[in-house]
Structure formats: C-alpha cells, structure tokens
Amino acid sequence: MTPQIRILCLGNELLADDAFGLAAAEELRKRLPDMEVVFTTEAGFRLIDYLSDAELLVVVDSIQTTTVPPGTLLVVRNADITSQSAPSPHYVGLFETLQLARKLLLPVPEEVIILAVEAVDCMTLGGEMHAAVKSAVGLVVELVHEIARCWKPTGADPDGNSAHDLQHALAAVSARCGPDRFTVI
C-alpha cells in the first residue's frame, strides 16, 4: 500500500546544524512509529526516489537566512512559492527535481510542506549543533504530528483547501509551544 504522507528529512550528520535533519528523523521515528520517515544526505535528482508515491511530502531541513533567530521554524508550502531561482544553471534542488518529475509524469505529490529550522552553522565539520537549533526538534515532531492529524487526502476535503489544514496544525502547535517559534512564509 502506498503511504499517504512521507516525512523527508535532509541534511548531513557531519556538519554542525546541518545534522538537524538526522536528529529530527530519529526523534520522529521514536515518537511517531507509524509515520514513514526517511533521512537522506542526497540532493538534486537523487531525491526523485524519495519523492515518489506519497500524496503529501513534508520536508525537514535546516536553512540559513539570517532573518530570524536560530531555532525558528520556517514553514512554507510549495504552492505558495511562485518562482525559484537556482544559484546557477547547473544547480538542481528540491523544486527543480519536483518540477522535472511532474513533467516526466512520475507519481510525486502535488502537496509539499517544507519545515526548515534557522541554523547558525552548517559548515563546521564535526561541529556541535547549536542549542536553539537542537531545541526545534521537538517542535518539528509536534508539528508533523498535527499535520498528519489535520491533513485530508486529495478528494477527501470538499473545500480542497490544504492550506486550511496546515493553518489548523500550526494553530494547535502554537497554542502549546508559542507562536514566536514559527514563521510562515
């Protein structure tokens, strides 16, 4: 049976705050054992196999924007991103991979939610994860649990409003953990 929701945690366990994806995957597997959780260090076209055969994909990663405090969880739906710009024509990221997979008629989800925690240092080999970044692991687990609880598969929601489902999940977790821990893009 095809899983409806897949949690794809990205990162590199050797690079300080970039190890967030692995830490989140380990905690998600412990606390939500019925959820399909995948961790990978892969990027670009190598992600295609991880994207296939799910109705909802939740991507967990770290990011360095320097616009919010470390440990803040940035939440975005792929449907809310109007354009992506790659650093070079040779770069292929998550959005480009999803776009190609759709053009190839591969069974990738239309609905993608990205949970990216603001990092401090994603470059130090063997470095410790910043305490504020590490503290966001529990927040991600709470939010993934609520997303899974609130999410309705395609066709099951008469309004077809997955943004509404995400807002319900965010409201529930904000009530427990505080609204200052999130930034919705």
Q: How many domains does the chain contain in total?
A: 1
pLDDT at 1: 39
Beta strand extents in the chain (DSSP E only):
5-10, 36-40, 56-63, 73-77, 111-118, 182-184
Distance CA 125, CA 51 (A): 28
Task: Work out the number of other CB atoms within 10 angstroms of the CB of residue 98.
Answer: 21
> Which of 10-14, 17-21, 36-40, 77-81 shows the lowest mean pLDDT across its residues?
77-81
- CATH code assigned at 53: 3.40.50.1450
pLDDT at 44: 83
| Structural domain range at position 166 | 5-184
User: How many percent of the chain have pLDDT more than 70?
Assistant: 88
